[in-house]
Amino acid sequence: MDFLNMSANKLLSIFYIWGNVVSLILCCMLFFKNRKNKQTQALYFNLIVLSLGIYFIGDGFWALSYFDIIPNASVWIKVARIIYYGAAGFLGYFWFIYVEIVLGSSFVYKRKRRVLFYAPVIISFLNTLFLCLCFDPSKKNINGYSTGFCLVIIPIIFVIVAGIHVLIKRTTITDRGLKLRYRNLGVWPIVIIFVSILQLFIAELPIFCFGSIIIVVALYVYNQDSMIFTDPLTGINNRNMLNRYVQDGLSKDDTYYVMMIDIDKFKSINDTYGHLEGDRALKCMASLLKRESAKNGDFLARYGGDEFVIIVKAESDMDVIKLSNSIKDAAKSIKDELGYEFTASVGYAKLLSNDNIEDAIHRADQSLYEAKEVAHAKGLR
């Protein structure tokens, strides 16, 4: 193939189609790599990848028509636009739900509430059918730009709303790992919106194609990396992140305590209500501890099983006892939500200057055991 003697139009067509083919291959690789992960977050990530894949098919088909590689171009261009603008509507919706899952929004687990957000997607698709059949969004005039903007307005609104929620949520947390993750979630939509708008003005280059696949690959790589330091069930830090935090995040000028928290009679919850309910109890405890630890910027991690660790910067034992009581009261308060008795036990130990974290955790665990013994003797557990 003699590229040097090709016309600019022919080179553009090859480049455009090649970009969509490569991006589609990457989408397939990500989809099949992640397909066995049954967690809700992974499911919606795969739906994002699937929507993008359909977009790339439609966009590549559009290029074949636009550059007159297939006959009856005007008809097939409209078909291609319906495919990729329709996929864009679903892409915006799935991104919104994915972000809300990462942020821990409860409504995404309630099907009736989640279905309400299908309405804008349906409107977006009907809008796509009407505008693509009746107007030409590729015309370099105000009518073309207006039509193109109307086609992407609903998915862009989904992305903007999710981005705003991320920025608001980021201001309420102190965990450095979560702040970094939320920062990325806030930056990536800006890139998507920028390349979407740029694509409207430069239709001959696959700008959205390359911008979106770079974002999704970056998101996948970041998710894989964060899994090393994140507990997959509860979404909070795991033991690996705990060790990193202790190594990198503790100031020698401050006093720290290690708190160990577990769910009372957790085995009984699993045996009586099943392991799914046990998982739900762990998630509730993680959310509860996240709220309590965030008040003073304390570090929270799941240590294993139903045990959680909080690294507290405190002046004295009294500050830790106050937090312990607050955690135990909060645990009792979610009894109505769960539908059964739910309590927590707490132990703590001061982190000494010559300690390694395991020594302090061992002493905190002993304190936790003693607290359980005292509560059992008093008939409280």
pLDDT digits over 275-320, tens only?
A: 888 888 898 899 889 888 877 778 899 998 899 999 998 888 899 9
pLDDT score, position 2: 54
Q: Are residues 179 and 284 in the same domain?
A: no
For residues 202 and 277, state if they share a domain: no
Per residue in 133-154, pLDDT tens? 888 777 766 677 788 788 888 8
Which of residues 208, 229, 250 is at a domain's end? 229
- 234 in any annotated domain: no
Q: What is the CATH number of the domain that holds 325?
A: 3.30.70.270
58 versus 251: the higher-pLDDT residue is 58
Final residue of a structural domain among 206, 229, 252: 229
Based on the fold, state whether residues 212 and 248 are members of the same structural domain: no
38 belongs to a structural domain: yes
- Domain with 48 in it: what CATH number? 1.20.1070.10
Same domain, 196 and 290: no
Q: Has residue 16 been placed in a domain? A: yes
Last residue of a domain, one of 185, 210, 229: 229
The overall pTM is greater than 0.75: no
Can you give the three-state secondary structure of the chain, one letter per residue? CCHHHCCHHHHHHHHHHHHHHHHHHHHHHHHHHHCCCCCHHHHHHHHHHHHHHHHHHHHHHHHHHHCCCCCCHHHHHHHHHHHHHHHHHHHHHHHHHHHHHHHCCHHHHCHHHHHCCHHHHHHHHHHHHHHHHHCCCCCCCHHHHHHHHHHHHHHHHHHHHHHHHHHHHHCCCCCHHHHHHHHHHHHHHHHHHHHHHHHHHCCCCCHHHHHHHHHHHHHHHHHHHHHHHECCCCCCECHHHHHHHHHHHCCCCCCEEEEEEEECCHHHHHHHHCHHHHHHHHHHHHHHHHHHHHCCCCEEEEEECCEEEEEEECCCHHHHHHHHHHHHHHHHHCHHHHCCCCCEEEEEEEECCCCCHHHHHHHHHHHHHHHHHHHHHCCCC
Q: Which domain holds residue 344?
A: 239-377
Number of domains in the chain: 2
Percent of the chain with pLDDT over 70: 91
- 278 and 195 in one domain? no
